[in-house]
Structure 1
């Protein structure tokens, strides 16, 4: 397994007129869904404090107290209530025209403050608060909210066991969401949700069982390990979906690779995971993650009987010419609300009815929204605006294997587009 990098795969802003896909919507569906990730709510954030102290207290040196009202851009501080309030207010006012919501985790603040350590009640209150935010912004009886677990969502940072108490706690907190948490969730934290869109199944995985920092679980080559059990479950569900002529979205928190190209899954889990994703690429309409805070599009490409990941970003200037081979699947990694970069929210447009060219779930486009945090802090108000539209950025009108292939071909030849995409990777952070 390897990751290939190339300047030719940098995403681009091509000033093209992209044809709209002709499609018929299923009655009662808008053909759009919302992707939110990495909120990292911090009720202890203090405006006018020092990022050196994680925005929890002031420094004796006044010039170091730079934490703004809506967050401290590019620091290790988490999200203040004011930023989260404003983000959900934007969703409530402007993003109601959706069918469902995927929330790819990391609700709680980081456990970085040695003086103000996270407690289990802190974590659970964070989960309750974020569910309440969604409930107040949307009618979750008609717009299904599907959350997943991140590496900061358990009671221990980066640690989730099959016996973790967080599963039973979340069963209670998530009860109003009407999720299918009966079978695998109590001992694994993963589940299938098949009642959102006809012909489309949502596979919500626990990526922590594959994550290399989760030292509480053994690798996927160990029979009976949580990761091995989950992979077998995934294979079974994908096979059943294939027999039922259904398409699948896979959602989780941690992507298989970090943005620097290093694996985030353990070696034994990574190889088996990619084999599964590649072999069932005709069933998987999309793979959605967060965690890295960056905006990254990745192709899963067949390579001599195995599969490799090709992200559309340069890594450490290690650039070489690479021609994209047969694409088996694709990963969509969305940027976060926590202001490591500018806060961001994404709305996808997807196919709701099966067709000759576009199966149910085919990603047709997305709108990437962001807020200029420096401007917001300077003006005392925050406004989300459209950062880019994917069909214009990539020059295609769908994001299946053929569309991604054409997008990468376009990306290879347009230097202006590459420059724009590099800016979008970190959400237009200057």
Structure 2
């Protein structure tokens, strides 16, 4: 999907820009702005840009680490030599064009919205070092920071006797709808260029062929989704599923466009949450934040930043506190306004914990400023789970970013501590629900070679990049709150776009229990499934099926196929409970 080492280095250069694979090589632009910074774009930097374009995952990662430290060190040194905001913005713009190849307009959009946070961090973090940046952004290549902060969250001892859950002792199940990563693009234009040279396509431009024209209902290219496709999905769910009890929305409303602002982001968030209220008037929606709800996206400032500062995330926390208030009780407001997380006792014995896991996201620039349990959220989580354990409650955890994924998204220490918490309270946590990756996948948390917990990833409504849109419905045991089955529903985009004048058909792609021939979805059954997937060195039909469903039976990825190396990584990532385990896959 992308050249990992190059993309992660670009994350450093743009300090949080979400590219995910759109690198344009051999492109040259002439920038006529400040002569002072023109002199800083040296032949050495130009050479390093070419080196990065040729680095592969099998290359010596120290090459990327060295270049990263040189470039980031240059940015810090320039600012600390009293360079003005104008000069810094121009230098960042030049780096963007040099290393990525986007034009000035695209790069200017990113630099304009991120520059204040970048300068704030350089100006206020006296011990900021390039090694800190590179160790965070190059997690999977193990760039080192000899002065890295290490911290841990203390855990209570196991109780002598666990309190029995206070839910009703019946066999009735209930249904939960999960929607994730919708990434709505208000500028989506049917027939526009789906193969552009900008951060996000399907918004404008004339395609060079009909194959590259944006489809009416969406596109498999570097594109997000139109409003009317989202409206169609929600109307379909509403009309076909009368027995839904709850809705889990696991984050990411806003598109991948670089042309963002607080006002644009606010408008899209309000419109989408309004659609949820309109289509699910009788269900409680439990939403969480994704990395794209922030503006700049990915950037969630810590509490130490003045709430009235123009780089503070307080505007977002205040916004969601108001927007979510129709679904959530008043006692959630304090933690939502503090950092975008909350807990709700849904009914006796059933508790939901909704986290803001963007604090662990390596593309959240503020992780370089402060990363020791931002907002005190993990300690708060331990306190909530300890109380739930004492009261015999079962817990569902909602968290946008998984503690391990293909991109090593979560900062190592945070992911490690989160996994420790999951294992300690595995008897209390019935399931976890994630988003962010856009993949249909699940994760098993092992301890002493036994599965102790499971996290389900709900895929994505957006096709970005190459997947079919989906939503998911879980069957949940009313007594112990475990998932007993789930069904994925998709829109086959290729088929829908061939008959764009008619409403698309959303259909059930598969039932997890039926498709994998499981008696149930207990941890024991999931462990047995995992063991089957490892058979014959992962080269088996089950893993092939898992790959096909990962992208929701998309013709794009089905054509690409999954070789043995791909299969091994798929299975390895299922058992990788935190980032340090994931990098070994």
TM value normalised by structure 2: 0.60
Task: Extract structure 1 runs of 4+ deviating beyond 6 A.
Answer: none
Cα drift, residue 68 of structure 1: 0.5
Distance change (3 Å), C-alpha of 1:44 and 1:237: same
- Which of 238, 241, 245 aligns to 1:95? It is 241
Query: Are the counterparts in 1 of residues 246 and 284 from structure 2 also a CA contact under 8 Å?
Result: yes
Structure 1 position 33 matched with structure 2 position 176: yes
Equivalence for 1:77: 223
Equivalence for 2:189: 46
More strand by share: 1
Distance 1:422 1:362 in 2: 25
More moved, 201-210 vs 174-183? 174-183
Equivalence for 2:542: 417
Over the aligned positions, Cα root-mean-square deviation in angstroms equals 2.1
Cα drift, residue 191 of structure 1: 0.3
Equivalence for 2:267: 125
- Which of 412, 416, 419 aligns to 1:271? It is 416
Distance change (3 Å), C-alpha of 1:34 and 1:234: same
Distance 1:189 1:375 in 2: 39
Equivalence for 2:342: 191
Distance 2:264 2:241 in 1: 29
- Which of 145, 162, 177 aligns to 2:327? It is 177
- The residue correspondences of 1:351-390 to structure 2 (distance < 5 A) are 351-353=477-479, 360-380=480-500, 381-390=503-512
TM value normalised by structure 1: 0.81
User: What do residues 314-357 of structure 1 show as CA deviations (whole Å, max 9, x unaligned)?
Assistant: xxxxxxxxxxx21111111111000121000000001112xxxx
Distance change (3 Å), C-alpha of 1:416 and 1:273: same
Query: Are the counterparts in 1 of residues 180 and 435 from structure 2 also a CA contact under 8 Å?
Result: yes
Equivalence for 1:207: 357
Tell me which of the two structures has the higher relative contact order, counting C-alpha pairs closer than 8 angstroms and 6 or more residues apart: 1
Distance 1:397 1:143 in 2: 30
Query: Are the counterparts in 2 of residues 58 and 65 from structure 1 also a CA contact under 8 Å?
Result: no
Query: Are the counterparts in 1 of residues 294 and 300 from structure 2 also a CA contact under 8 Å?
Result: yes
Distance 1:124 1:398 in 2: 42
SS in 2 for 1:377: helix
Cα drift, residue 424 of structure 1: 0.4
- Which of 460, 470, 480 aligns to 1:344? It is 470
Query: Are the counterparts in 1 of residues 260 and 296 from structure 2 also a CA contact under 8 Å?
Result: no
Equivalence for 1:399: 521
Cα drift, residue 85 of structure 1: 1.5
- The residue correspondences of 1:196-275 to structure 2 (distance < 5 A) are 197-217=347-367, 222=372, 225-226=373-374, 229-258=376-405, 260=406, 262-275=407-420
SS in 1 for 2:352: strand
Cα drift, residue 362 of structure 1: 0.8
Structure 1 position 146 matched with structure 2 position 286: yes
- Which of 187, 192, 203 aligns to 1:56? It is 203
Query: Are the counterparts in 1 of residues 328 and 344 from structure 2 also a CA contact under 8 Å?
Result: no
Structure 2's unaligned 5+ residue stretches are 1-138, 141-168, 303-311, 556-585
Equivalence for 1:327: 451
- Which of 406, 415, 431 aligns to 1:286? It is 431
Cα drift, residue 213 of structure 1: 1.4
Query: Are the counterparts in 1 of residues 321 and 333 from structure 2 also a CA contact under 8 Å?
Result: no
User: What do residues 39-60 of structure 1 show as CA deviations (whole Å, max 9, x unaligned)?
Assistant: 1111110000012341111226
Distance change (3 Å), C-alpha of 1:221 and 1:170: closer
SS in 2 for 1:420: helix
Query: Are the counterparts in 2 of residues 158 and 214 from structure 1 also a CA contact under 8 Å?
Result: yes
Query: Are the counterparts in 1 of residues 207 and 213 from structure 2 also a CA contact under 8 Å?
Result: no
Query: Are the counterparts in 2 of residues 254 and 264 from structure 1 also a CA contact under 8 Å?
Result: yes
Cα drift, residue 403 of structure 1: 2.4
Query: Are the counterparts in 1 of residues 190 and 202 from structure 2 also a CA contact under 8 Å?
Result: yes
Cα drift, residue 182 of structure 1: 2.0
Distance change (3 Å), C-alpha of 1:40 and 1:60: closer
More helix by share: 2
User: What do residues 280-299 of structure 1 show as CA deviations (whole Å, max 9, x unaligned)?
Assistant: 11111111111111111111
User: What do residues 246-303 of structure 1 show as CA deviations (whole Å, max 9, x unaligned)?
Assistant: 1111101111122x2x422111111111111111111111111111111111111114
Structure 1 position 107 matched with structure 2 position 253: yes
SS in 1 for 2:545: helix
- Which of 157, 168, 179 aligns to 2:297? It is 157
